[in-house]
């Protein structure tokens, strides 16, 4: 028998696996509305953050359907199963909230450092990119533009380690759970609001003002967090 690495599932993965078992076993029936996040957090004795990530994982796996403003329901066709092997933690990435917490730590500092080092040519390039974003505000593929925008600011910070960490966080946003979130939560209005915040970031960079660049990036992240996670405060369980 070959040796295999021992994996310790994150809290949201454990919750998602248990709920998937309940759905498969009929404890949660097709079409049934699930308890709200607070109730699920109480029953599983975990944070709302872990529940939110578990629900995203289950939605990604096709087990539940989240109806905006009307809660989450077991999908009618969930009995047919899913392509996610919950027993092996097939969605192995850190959850979206855990990833976002790191963005909140890293991206404002990258922008502050970039304000002291960025060239006029690079700022002109960011402005040109923002123009393309405005032209594509209705395009679901504009996620790539947002990624390139932040990666260019990270590169201008002059710190290659900081740059590589931010690039890795944006690579993780290509994962299945983030794709599920984007499809459900991100539309033209949300993209337009993000563009306004990016304009403020560019203005701070143009002024060579690190404090303003930090605040502008923090403001952009506050908006993004509200879009994706609503009223969730964002506390993440250890490993959750």
Span 123-166, pLDDT tens digits: 999 999 999 999 888 776 666 888 999 999 999 999 999 999 99
Within 10 angstroms of residue 26's Cβ, the number of other Cβ atoms is 9
* Between 3 and 234, the higher pLDDT residue: 3
Give the helix/strand (H/E) hosting 183: helix 176-185
**How big is the chain by its Cα radius of gyration, in Å?**
20
Question: Looking at the structure, do residues 128 and 194 belong to the same domain, yes or no?
Answer: yes
Question: Looking at the structure, do residues 101 and 214 belong to the same domain, yes or no?
Answer: yes
Which pLDDT tens digit goes with each residue over 80-115? 555 555 544 445 678 898 899 999 999 999 999 999
Rounded-to-integer distance, Cα 224 and Cα 229, Å:
8
Rounded-to-integer distance, Cα 146 and Cα 134, Å:
11
Let me know if residue 1 belongs to a domain. no
Question: Looking at the structure, do residues 35 and 71 belong to the same domain, yes or no?
Answer: yes
Let me know if residue 115 belongs to a domain. yes
Question: Looking at the structure, do residues 80 and 101 belong to the same domain, yes or no?
Answer: no
Question: Looking at the structure, do residues 198 and 140 belong to the same domain, yes or no?
Answer: yes
Classified as helix, coil or strand, 162 is helix
**Contact predicate 50/15, CB 8 Å:** yes
Q: Would you state the torsion angle of the CA atoms of residues 159, 164, 169, 175, taken in this order, to the nearest 10 degrees?
A: 160
The whole-model pTM stands at 0.81
Question: Looking at the structure, do residues 152 and 52 belong to the same domain, yes or no?
Answer: no
Question: Looking at the structure, do residues 79 and 194 belong to the same domain, yes or no?
Answer: no
Let me know if residue 3 belongs to a domain. no
* Between 1 and 191, the higher pLDDT residue: 191
Give the helix/strand (H/E) hosting 72: strand 71-74
User: How many separate domains does the chain show?
Assistant: 2
Let me know if residue 240 belongs to a domain. no
* pLDDT surpasses 70 at 239: no
Question: Looking at the structure, do residues 41 and 71 belong to the same domain, yes or no?
Answer: yes
| 126 closest CA partner among 144, 104, 149, 110 | 149
Rounded-to-integer distance, Cα 160 and Cα 156, Å:
9
pLDDT for res 115: 98
Domain boundary (51, 71, 88) is at 88
Task: Tell me which residue range forms the domain holding 79.
Answer: 11-88
* pLDDT surpasses 90 at 229: no
């Amino acid at each position: 028998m070959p040796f295999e690495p021992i994996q310790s599932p994150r809290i949201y993965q454990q919750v998602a696996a248990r709920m998937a078992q309940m759905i498969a076993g009929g404890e949660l029936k097709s079409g049934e509305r699930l308890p709200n996040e607070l109730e699920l957090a109480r029953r599983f004795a975990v944070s709302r953050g872990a529940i939110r990530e578990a629900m995203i994982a289950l939605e990604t796996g096709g087990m539940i359907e989240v109806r905006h403003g009307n809660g989450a329901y077991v999908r009618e066709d969930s009995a047919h199963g899913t392509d996610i092997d919950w027993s092996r933690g097939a969605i192995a990435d850190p959850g979206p909230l855990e990833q976002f917490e790191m963005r909140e730590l890293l991206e404002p500092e990258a922008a502050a450092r970039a304000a002291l080092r960025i060239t006029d040519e690079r700022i002109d390039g960011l402005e040109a990119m923002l123009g393309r974003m405005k032209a594509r505000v209705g395009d679901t593929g504009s996620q790539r533009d947002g990624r390139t925008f932040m990666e260019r600011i990270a590169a201008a910070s002059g710190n290659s380690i900081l740059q590589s960490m931010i690039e890795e966080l944006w690579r993780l946003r290509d994962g299945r759970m983030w794709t599920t979130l984007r499809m459900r939560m991100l539309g033209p209005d949300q993209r337009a609001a993000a563009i306004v915040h990016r304009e403020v970031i560019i203005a701070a960079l143009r002024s060579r003002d690190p404090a303003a660049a930090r605040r502008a990036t923090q403001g952009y992240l506050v908006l993004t967090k509200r879009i994706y996670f609503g009223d969730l405060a964002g506390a993440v369980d250890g490993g959750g």
